[in-house]
Amino acid sequence: MVKIGVIYFSKTDVTAQLAKSVIKGALTRDNVDIVEHQINGVDIVEGRYINPEVLMALQACDAIVFGSPTYMGGVAAQFKAFADATSELWCDQHWAGKVAAGFTCGSAANGDQTSTLQYLVTLSNQHGMFWVGLDSAIGFNDKGVNRLGCQLGVVAQSTDGVANETDLASAQYLGQRVTELALRLQ
């Protein structure tokens, strides 16, 4: 049994759609358990993330996939509040050795979404995690994924609150990839 955590913030629902696709991809394998949490305003009090149950559930996961829309070239403040709360786990490296990956979306084809993914990589490395990107180059594959050509993770683009089908396929593929690598590391 492998346990995959998916934690994300979503305002326009595109990030949530991507999260559901990551989960769908993870569940293509047998013996997979999912821990899913969408960060909400009730999780944050006076700027601090205060949901220790979620942090404990993620600590029990073999892999964690992070998701946030890109706002002004970085993660949403709600996701950042969650990330800051993980510093208490960082001291003892409770997430070290876990597989990590990420996804983001923005309203522009290049709205600095890679900056958001780079932040998620840094967060993962701070915790001693193993980052997993996409192994599929744009236009050079038969998988039908990675529409915007970012191999660091899933980058989606939408202006109407509906995720592009290829972006959803990319998220599903990432979920499969994360699960396969987590199974190998067991």
Task: Please write the tens of the pLDDT for every residue from 146-171.
Answer: 888 788 999 999 999 999 999 999 99
Q: Does 145 have pLDDT greater than 90?
A: no
128: number of Cβ within 10 Å: 14
pTM of the full predicted structure?
0.96
Question: Can you give the residue range of the structural domain that contains 54?
Answer: 2-185
At 141 the pLDDT is 67
Write the CATH number for 77.
3.40.50.360
Least confident of 35-44, 59-68, 137-146, 174-183: 137-146
Torsion sign (Cα): 183, 38, 117, 140: positive
- Token pair in block for residue 54: 């979620």
For the chain, the domain total comes to: 1
What gap in Å lies between CA 44 and CA 82, rounded to an integer? 8
Task: Please write the tens of the pLDDT for every residue from 12-48.
Answer: 999 999 999 999 999 999 999 999 999 999 999 999 9
What gap in Å lies between CA 152 and CA 120, rounded to an integer? 10
State how far the alpha carbon of 157 is from the alpha carbons of 102, 104, 114, 150, 173, in Å: 15, 9, 12, 12, 17
What gap in Å lies between CA 170 and CA 85, rounded to an integer? 29
At 109 the pLDDT is 82
Backbone dihedral region for residue 136 (phi beyond 0: left; psi -120 to 50: alpha; all else: beta): beta
- Token pair in block for residue 136: 């599929």
